[in-house]
Chains A and B, each alone.
Chain A
Amino acid sequence: MQPFTTVSGPGVVLARDNIDTDQLIPARFMKRTRAEGYGDQLLYDLRFDEDGDPVEGFPLNQMSERPVLMLAGRNFGCGSSREAAVYALVDHGIRVVVADSFADIFRGNAGKNGLLTIALGAAERGRLAKFLEPRPGENAPAEVFVDLDAQEISAEGLGTIAFDIDKGLKRRLLLGLDDLSETLEDEPTIAAFEERYFAAAPWVVPRGA
């Protein structure tokens, strides 16, 4: 996993609630392998019309540069557990999603792929949205700086917004650690547990009891 320390770049505002994983990556696209990548299919049915042409006015289509941060509303990532929703965001270049709230499974998947999810209150999201709004006359999109160690989003003209994050997740993100290799070091503890467990409840093994 790619470690997450700091990230800077443009942000995009998707002012909607309940952006579900079917929207993030429509089910019909999920036959790809990981190596083939999912970035071009991110939010496909919102970004493109029936003929495959970009939908005018859709925020992602208005960006002159790919954003690193996405700002959305309530219940982001609800629905199907498909991790491909996270792959699509990450492959598109997004490293941070800021929302009012996230669906559980999505948030777990994000943490395992180096995607930082930040829950913020309405006032702070409002400030960030205002800052990220395209400004008439200015071509380059507004850029933000996200520092995981300091737990801060900042930019000139925005000031600083602090955020919370789970301690264990922060450590793994900073180091780019994969849970699985860590857990395998606990194998003896797992084996000892299993011995006790199967002795107490042998009926747990189908056809075993």
Chain B
Amino acid sequence: MSQSILDKIWSAHEILSRDGSSLVFVDRHLLHEGSHHAFAKIGEAGRKVRHPELTFGVADHYAPSSELRANAASATMIERLSVNTARHGIESFGLGDARRGIVHVAMPEQGLSLPGTIIVCGDSHTATHGAFGAFAFGIGASEVAHVLATQALWQKKPPLMKITVTGGLPFGTTAKDLALHIIATIGTGGATGHAVEYAGEAIAALSMEGRMTLCNMTIEMGARSGIVPPDETTFAWLKGRPMAPKGAAFEAAVESWKALRSDDGAAYAREVVIDAGEVAPMVTWGTSPEQVAPVTGEVPSVDPDALDYMGLSAGEALSTINIDRGFIGSCTNGRYSDLLAAARVLKGRRLAVPLLVSPGSSDVARQAEETGIAEIFREAGAEWGESGCSLCVGMNGDQVRPGERCASTSNRNFRGRQGPGARTHLMSPAMVAAAAVSGHIVDVRAIDLADLPEPVSAPDVHLEA
């Protein structure tokens, strides 16, 4: 019988099934500061962590992007993670570790996200790791405790939805714009309960970083997970990563990964076809990622509540909206190629409003220093911060003030996400840079871009602690 990539991953991981649910084995369990509830739960019962060698922690949500905004409460959260992981023999990247970064940036960099694996983390954007052909999804604290103790999880196999993206992305558009375009097309509930398999030439053409951005945003369609079947791009990216298999083991793994494609005739619960050629630079105007339009559009006359919160009126052109600040970072758009795209806009220009940059990981920061990109940001007047979740979520000292309007590369424009009363406009890194030099939302396609060298490829990274 024809099998989908999800069927193949599922059957390789199913330990037993009962009551219509399966107990599936977990290959990678990723932790951050939010895991303290789960540690408390297993602690109360005196349970041990079953596979500490398959479990990795990193401080990201509460990591301060600047000494100036560090606070005691966040430091306590970071300390709790190191105490809990140390007690259970789990390797964790704390402040000062060269491997530290946002969990969905740092773990793939280490070569921990592998094709065909099941990856979980107490964070909804775990979907990011599906870019490697893994089945990766976010779980809650009770499930984190369950995985710590058993290395397994009760799950129902989700129905599979296929999103085929034909053609190529036009000039000035990125994986972020594609993700927002898909959300605009199918809605934030468009893939609820499904796993999404991506297919089509536009997906094949995406870099690993672009695939991570797209799978990351898949959660905003309501999906549990996004999956891109692995190909040569995937294998090349993984080769030589510190914790990826090496030598003959790598070659053997690649052989088995090549079988991770959906068979002809595999069944899908839903299929959607998207024409990449129709994607334009996208900007959100409301308080949900589905409230989004091309930058050439205007604020529509729907959801008065959202418009009131955002301080906008129907009919306003998106490109005339003034912004108070910009943010470049997050697990959606905090990778080297994201910073590079923004730097192409910033080179030789000065900011009109404050811009905070928080590289997705210490290694991204290191690369950016080495290639001179970091200097371009500083010369333009941007604040070059430490890596972490930073202004994606108002919980680590970074916040947008009430009523302030922020052009942001993050993934959620929810009410209060960046701080109480904060108004968030989601867009791509180059669009944020363009808005930050203009003082208002602007179409990046109208801006001359500097010629800067392409990203450094995988084997050039050096990531030991």
Q: Which residues of A contact B (CB under 8 A)?
A: 16, 18, 20, 22-23, 26-28, 30-31, 33-34, 45-46, 50, 74-75, 78-84, 86, 101, 103-105, 108-109, 112-113, 166-168, 171, 179-180, 183-184, 186-187, 189-190, 193-194, 197, 201-209
Interface pair B19/A75, CB less than 8 Å apart: no
Question: Interface digits, B380-403 against A, CB 8 Å rule (1 contact, 0 not)?
Answer: 000000000000011100000010
Taking a contact as CB atoms closer than 8 A, the residue among A26, A186, A209 that contacts B16 in the complex is A186
Interface pair B76/A50, CB less than 8 Å apart: no
Of chain A, the residue at the smallest CB distance from B290 is A18
Interface pair B402/A203, CB less than 8 Å apart: no
For residue B163, CB closer than 8 A to chain A, the reply is no
For residue B358, CB closer than 8 A to chain A, the reply is no
Could you show 22 A-B contacts with beta carbons less than 8 Å apart? A18-B287, A18-B288, A22-B412, A26-B420, A46-B415, A50-B421, A79-B124, A81-B140, A82-B34, A83-B37, A108-B140, A180-B45, A180-B47, A180-B142, A183-B146, A183-B149, A201-B256, A203-B253, A205-B53, A206-B111, A206-B112, A209-B246
Interface pair A78/B421, CB less than 8 Å apart: no
The residue among A16, A28, A109, A187 with the most chain B CB atoms within 10 A of its own CB is A28
Shortest Cβ gap from B89 to chain A (Å): 14
Taking a contact as CB atoms closer than 8 A, the residue among A16, A109, A202, A209 that contacts B140 in the complex is A109
Interface pair B19/A34, CB less than 8 Å apart: no
Shortest Cβ gap from B99 to chain A (Å): 12
Complex-state Cα separation, A112 to B394, whole angstroms: 27
Interface pair B140/A190, CB less than 8 Å apart: no
- Given known A-B contacts A18-B188, A28-B395, A184-B150, A108 and B143 have beta carbons under 8 A apart: yes
Interface pair B20/A186, CB less than 8 Å apart: no
Of chain A, the residue at the smallest CB distance from B389 is A27
Shortest Cβ gap from B19 to chain A (Å): 3
For residue B189, which residues in chain A have a CB less than 8 angstroms away from its CB?
A: 74-75, 101
Interface pair B124/A112, CB less than 8 Å apart: no
Q: In the complex, identify which listed stretch (B21-29, B198-206, B259-267, B428-436) lies at the interface while the others stay far away.
A: B21-29
Besides A105-B140, A168-B20, 12 other A-B contacts (C-beta < 8 A): A26-B416, A34-B40, A50-B402, A75-B188, A75-B192, A82-B141, A113-B142, A167-B20, A168-B18, A168-B19, A190-B151, A208-B53
For residue B449, CB closer than 8 A to chain A, the reply is no
Taking a contact as CB atoms closer than 8 A, the residue among B20, B77, B222, B246 that contacts A104 in the complex is B222
Taking a contact as CB atoms closer than 8 A, the residue among A28, A83, A206 that contacts B142 in the complex is A83
Interface pair B114/A83, CB less than 8 Å apart: no
For residue B294, CB closer than 8 A to chain A, the reply is no
Taking a contact as CB atoms closer than 8 A, the residue among A75, A186, A187, A194 that contacts B222 in the complex is A75
For residue B139, CB closer than 8 A to chain A, the reply is yes
Of chain B, the residue at the smallest CB distance from A108 is B140
For residue B462, CB closer than 8 A to chain A, the reply is no
Shortest Cβ gap from A89 to chain B (Å): 13
The residue among B15, B73, B140, B152 with the most chain A CB atoms within 10 A of its own CB is B140
For residue A80, which residues in chain B have a CB less than 8 angstroms away from its CB?
A: 123-124, 393, 412
- Given known A-B contacts A101-B189, A108-B143, A206-B112, A81 and B222 have beta carbons under 8 A apart: no
Taking a contact as CB atoms closer than 8 A, the residue among B54, B146, B243 that contacts A180 in the complex is B146
Q: Which residues of B contact A (CB under 8 A)?
A: 12, 15-16, 18-21, 23, 25, 27, 34, 36-37, 40, 45, 47, 53-54, 73-74, 76-77, 111-112, 114, 117, 122-124, 137-143, 145-146, 149-152, 154, 158, 188-189, 192-193, 222, 224, 243, 245-246, 249-250, 252-253, 256, 287-288, 305, 393-395, 402, 412, 414-417, 420-421
Interface pair A27/B393, CB less than 8 Å apart: yes
Interface pair A183/B18, CB less than 8 Å apart: no
Shortest Cβ gap from A8 to chain B (Å): 26
Complex-state Cα separation, A3 to B378, whole angstroms: 57
Interface pair B152/A190, CB less than 8 Å apart: yes
For residue B112, which residues in chain A have a CB less than 8 angstroms away from its CB?
A: 206
Interface pair A22/B36, CB less than 8 Å apart: no
For residue B138, which residues in chain A have a CB less than 8 angstroms away from its CB?
A: 81, 105
Of chain A, the residue at the smallest CB distance from B415 is A23
- Given known A-B contacts A81-B139, A83-B142, A31 and B19 have beta carbons under 8 A apart: no
For residue B192, which residues in chain A have a CB less than 8 angstroms away from its CB?
A: 75, 101, 103-104
Interface pair B140/A83, CB less than 8 Å apart: yes
For residue A208, which residues in chain B have a CB less than 8 angstroms away from its CB?
A: 53
For residue A46, which residues in chain B have a CB less than 8 angstroms away from its CB?
A: 415
Interface pair B243/A105, CB less than 8 Å apart: no
For residue B53, which residues in chain A have a CB less than 8 angstroms away from its CB?
A: 205-208
Interface pair B34/A204, CB less than 8 Å apart: no
Shortest Cβ gap from B290 to chain A (Å): 8
Interface pair B245/A81, CB less than 8 Å apart: no
Shortest Cβ gap from B6 to chain A (Å): 15
Of chain A, the residue at the smallest CB distance from B245 is A203
Taking a contact as CB atoms closer than 8 A, the residue among A16, A105, A193 that contacts B15 in the complex is A193
Interface pair A31/B142, CB less than 8 Å apart: no
For residue B158, which residues in chain A have a CB less than 8 angstroms away from its CB?
A: 104
Interface pair B154/A45, CB less than 8 Å apart: no
Complex-state Cα separation, A108 to B143, whole angstroms: 9
Of chain B, the residue at the smallest CB distance from A113 is B142
Complex-state Cα separation, A28 to B69, whole angstroms: 14
Taking a contact as CB atoms closer than 8 A, the residue among B15, B25, B222, B393 that contacts A103 in the complex is B222
Complex-state Cα separation, A26 to B12, whole angstroms: 38
For residue B188, which residues in chain A have a CB less than 8 angstroms away from its CB?
A: 18, 75, 78
For residue B305, which residues in chain A have a CB less than 8 angstroms away from its CB?
A: 16
The 3 closest A-B CB pairs, nearest first, are A168-B19, A109-B140, A203-B245
For residue A79, which residues in chain B have a CB less than 8 angstroms away from its CB?
A: 124, 412, 414
Taking a contact as CB atoms closer than 8 A, the residue among B114, B142, B412, B416 that contacts A45 in the complex is B416
Interface pair A31/B243, CB less than 8 Å apart: no
For residue B152, which residues in chain A have a CB less than 8 angstroms away from its CB?
A: 183, 190
For residue B256, which residues in chain A have a CB less than 8 angstroms away from its CB?
A: 201
